[in-house]
Each structure stands twice: as structure tokens, then as C-alpha cells.
């Protein structure tokens, strides 16, 4: 762990995520090749880092951007939900 409270894998994930990616398929390949993680595992670890105070101290700009993106996706999903039907009376 470093002074921010992050281990090497966590720092590597944040550094990787800060790079610009235009092609999701290439990013998925790079996740496996460079980090040795499956894409699913990578995104689970990244999701935990988004809420980590240590990650926020390490790279506040990246974590702020990821939090905004997550919040925008959640709002988009909430708008797409199907309203519940009213009971017939």
C-alpha cells in the first residue's frame, strides 16, 4: 500500500482507466493483456474504487469523472423503468 492507502493493482487500474479508449473491444483486450484481469473483474474492482476515499485522494479528477458517469447512467436507467400498473378497483 502507498501513502494514499492503495495497493499496486488498484493504482494500476486507476492509471489504466485514465487512458483514453475509443474502442471497447481493444480496451477489453488490453485489460486482459496488461493487467491480467477479466473485464468483469476489472469493472468490479473499478466500481469499488469509485467509492474509495483513498482513490479520490490519489486521482480526484478521474474519480470525479467516473462518479459523474456512474450517476448519469443511473439516472438514464431510472428514466427507462416501466411504471407500475395501478391496481384495478
Question: What is the chain's length?
Answer: 89
pLDDT tops 90 at residue 36? yes
User: Would the pLDDT of 2 be above 90?
Assistant: no
Domain boundaries, the chain: 8-80
Dist. CA 30–CA 16, nearest whole Å: 9
Whether 50 has a pLDDT exceeding 90, the answer reads: yes
Across the chain, what does the average pLDDT equal? 89
Rounded mean pLDDT, 29-49: 96
Q: What is the DSSP string of 13-71?
A: HHHHHTS--S-HHHHHHHIIIII---HHHHHHHHHHHHT-HHHHHH-HHHHHHHHHHHH
Residue 70 contacts residue 63 (beta carbons within 8 Å): no
Q: Is 22 exposed, middle or buried (0-12, 13-18, 19+ CB in 10 A)?
A: exposed
Amino acid at each position: 500500500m502507498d501513502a494514499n492507502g492503495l495497493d499496486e493493482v488498484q493504482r494500476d487500474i486507476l492509471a489504466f482507466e485514465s487512458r483514453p479508449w475509443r474502442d471497447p473491444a481493444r480496451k477489453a483486450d488490453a485489460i486482459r493483456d496488461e493487467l491480467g484481469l477479466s473485464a468483469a473483474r476489472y469493472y468490479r474492482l473499478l466500481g469499488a474504487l469509485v467509492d474509495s476515499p483513498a482513490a479520490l485522494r490519489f486521482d480526484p479528477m478521474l474519480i470525479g469523472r467516473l462518479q459523474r458517469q456512474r450517476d448519469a447512467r443511473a439516472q438514464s436507467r431510472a428514466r427507462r423503468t416501466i411504471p407500475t400498473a395501478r391496481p384495478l378497483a
